[in-house]
């Protein structure tokens, strides 16, 4: 977004605003053990950013599970909920970025593929909820990431056009969703960006969220 400043800031949750990947990995391992399965299959990038209903639907079909998709989602999130609140922390620079956005009147939204209870619980527990104007979750949409619908909804709620906002993601599925909505997109990659695919509309990689403060409208 050279030469311009963002009036909107749209952040993914897991791996972007929330340092929660270890929590999600542990919950997934426990969940698969409960089902008598060894692995999800396909590697983490295949699933990162997709909705839990998409993931559980594929898992059910591939493994011929008797439980319904809804039952599988509920089972998984029973394992996630409390561990998320107890163990997930804010990613580097996250508090400074949200505080700067709030101070400058930048519309901030969390755009996530997880359930509203998880997103809202994390924000409240971390004392961030008052700095976030909107939360878009899987329960608000029909088509999840990589479809642009989640970010298009965030834009609609904000009243901004795509060229007035920026997005931050950590996974290819999420990045494709954000760029598909026309948003200049940054990738949160504190541990490096090795093997991240080239995606048109991705502006670059950051190691700390507060690196984006200079790009916010002042």
Tens-place pLDDT, residues 147-201:
999 999 999 999 999 999 999 999 999 999 999 999 999 999 988 888 899 999 9
26 falls within a domain? yes
Residue 1 lies in a domain: no
In whole angstroms, what is the distance from residue 8 CA to residue 181 CA?
13
For residue 2, tell me if it sits in a domain: no
- Tens-digit pLDDT profile for residues 66-93: 899 989 988 888 888 878 888 899 999 9
Kindly calculate the radius of gyration of the chain based on its CA atoms and give it in whole angstroms: 17
Could you give the number of structural domains in the chain? 2
Residue 131 in contact with residue 102, Cβ under 8 Å?
A: yes
The Cβ of residue 218 has, within 10 Å, a number of other Cβ atoms equal to: 10
Domain membership flag for residue 109: yes
Specify whether 155 is located in the same domain as 135: yes
Say if residue 15 is in the same domain as residue 52: no
Residue 35 is part of which domain span? 21-87
């Amino acid at each position: 977004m050279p030469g311009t400043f963002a009036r909107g800031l749209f952040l993914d949750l897991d791996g972007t605003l929330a340092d929660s990947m270890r929590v999600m990995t542990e919950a997934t391992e426990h969940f698969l053990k409960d089902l008598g399965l060894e692995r999800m299959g396909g590697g983490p990038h295949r699933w990162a950013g997709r909705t839990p209903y998409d993931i559980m639907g594929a898992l059910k079909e591939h493994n011929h599970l008797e439980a319904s998709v809804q039952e599988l989602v509920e089972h998984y999130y029973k394992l996630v909920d409390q561990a998320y609140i107890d163990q997930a922390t804010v990613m580097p620079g996250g508090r400074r970025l949200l505080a700067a956005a709030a101070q400058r009147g930048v519309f901030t939204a969390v755009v996530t593929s997880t359930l509203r209870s998880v997103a809202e619980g994390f924000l409240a527990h971390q004392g961030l909820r008052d700095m976030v104007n909107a939360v878009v979750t899987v329960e608000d949409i029909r088509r999840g990431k990589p479809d642009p619908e989640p970010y298009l909804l965030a834009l609609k709620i904000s009243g901004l056009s795509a060229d007035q906002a920026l997005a931050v993601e950590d996974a290819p599925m999420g990045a494709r969703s954000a760029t598909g909505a026309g948003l200049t997109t940054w990738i949160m990659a504190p541990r490096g960006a090795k093997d991240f695919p080239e995606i048109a509309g991705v502006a670059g990689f950051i190691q700390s969220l507060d690196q984006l403060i200079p790009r916010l409208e002042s």
